[in-house]
Amino acid sequence: MVRVSKDPAIRKQELIDIAQKLFIAKGYEATSVREILNEVGGAPGMFYHHFSSKEEIYKIAISQYIDKYVSRINVTLRDKSISISLRVSKLFALITETFGEYLVASKGYKASESQFSDVMVSMKVLSLIANSVEELLIEAREKGLVNNLLLKQNERQLALFLLYGIYGVLHDGSESGLSIELIEKNITKAIPLISNITGISLEILTNGVDK
């Protein structure tokens, strides 16, 4: 069977996509270069033409995964065809899903670098969704959903305060390690805090309908 020749950039991205899928399904440690190559029917030479190691393709795959995650969050928060409360609900569902996949993907990756990477990834995500959160707060104020005088003209500062505060809440109790169960537990604590800080009623944030 004649092997179809592909543009090197296309082949490289194909390897990244396959690696990303395997890392998310099995974890870093349990995924081998051979498995990645088996998925695309390639030889070791093809892999090492594009990447120096499994670690290099892992870092690229995770970076692209985070970029897609950020894009999904921004699209969700800016979707005015659905209620603000439903957008918040979808946001937390996205957070739970992505944290779960990321925790599996990073399993077996060297602990010291992984912890540093986790923080850097989180800071990147927070900075890239700040504008969307700010726009959501402005929309909530304009719809009369907000009962907080501090919000007016301070949406940017409040958006950042909420984002970094929620990050802290979600990681509360993670001294011995983060888990999807802990994230889900801490999300239930975060929603009442958002309500108290913004003045948006808890009912609106949890029932999926803006009144």
Query: How would DSSP label each residue in the chain?
Result: -PPPP--HHHHHHHHHHHHHHHHHHH-TTT--HHHHHHHHT--HHHHHHH-SSHHHHHHHHHHHHHHHHHHHHHHHHT-TTS-HHHHHHHHHHHHHHHHHHHHHHTTTS-HHHHHHHHHHHHHHHHHHHHHHHHHHHHHHHHTT----GGGTT-HHHHHHHHHHHHHHHHTTT-TT---HHHHHHHHHHHHHHHHHHH---HHHHHHS---
pLDDT (0 to 100) of residue 1: 43
Q: In which band, very low, low, confident or very high, does the pLDDT at 111 lie, cut at 50, 70 and 90? A: low
Rounded CA separation 44/36 (Å)? 10
Look at 7-16, 26-35, 154-163 and tell me which has the smallest mean pLDDT.
Answer: 154-163
Average pLDDT, the chain: 88
Of 42, 9, 36, which Cα lies nearest the Cα of 23? Answer: 36
159's CB contacts (< 8 A; 6+ apart) are 130, 133, 134, 137
pLDDT (0 to 100) of residue 210: 61
Burial (CB count within 10 angstroms: exposed 0-12, middle 13-18, buried 19+), residue 100: middle
Most trustworthy range by pLDDT among 52-56, 81-85, 143-147: 52-56
pTM of the model: 0.85
Q: Which tokens hold the place of 100?
A: 């779960």
pLDDT one-digit tens code per residue, 136-167: 999 988 888 877 666 677 888 889 999 999 99
Output 204 or 117, whichever has higher pLDDT.
204
Domains of the chain: 8-50 (1.10.10.60), 62-207 (1.10.357)
Rounded CA separation 66/33 (Å)? 22
Mean pLDDT of 54-69: 95
pLDDT at 80 > cutoff 90 = yes
pLDDT (0 to 100) of residue 169: 94
In Å, the largest CA–CA distance within the chain is: 70
What is the share, in percent, of the chain residues with pLDDT greater than 90?
60
Mean pLDDT of 78-103: 92
pLDDT one-digit tens code per residue, 182-196: 999 999 999 899 888
Rounded CA separation 85/89 (Å)? 6
Q: In which band, very low, low, confident or very high, does the pLDDT at 58 lie, cut at 50, 70 and 90? A: very high
pLDDT at 211 > cutoff 60 = no
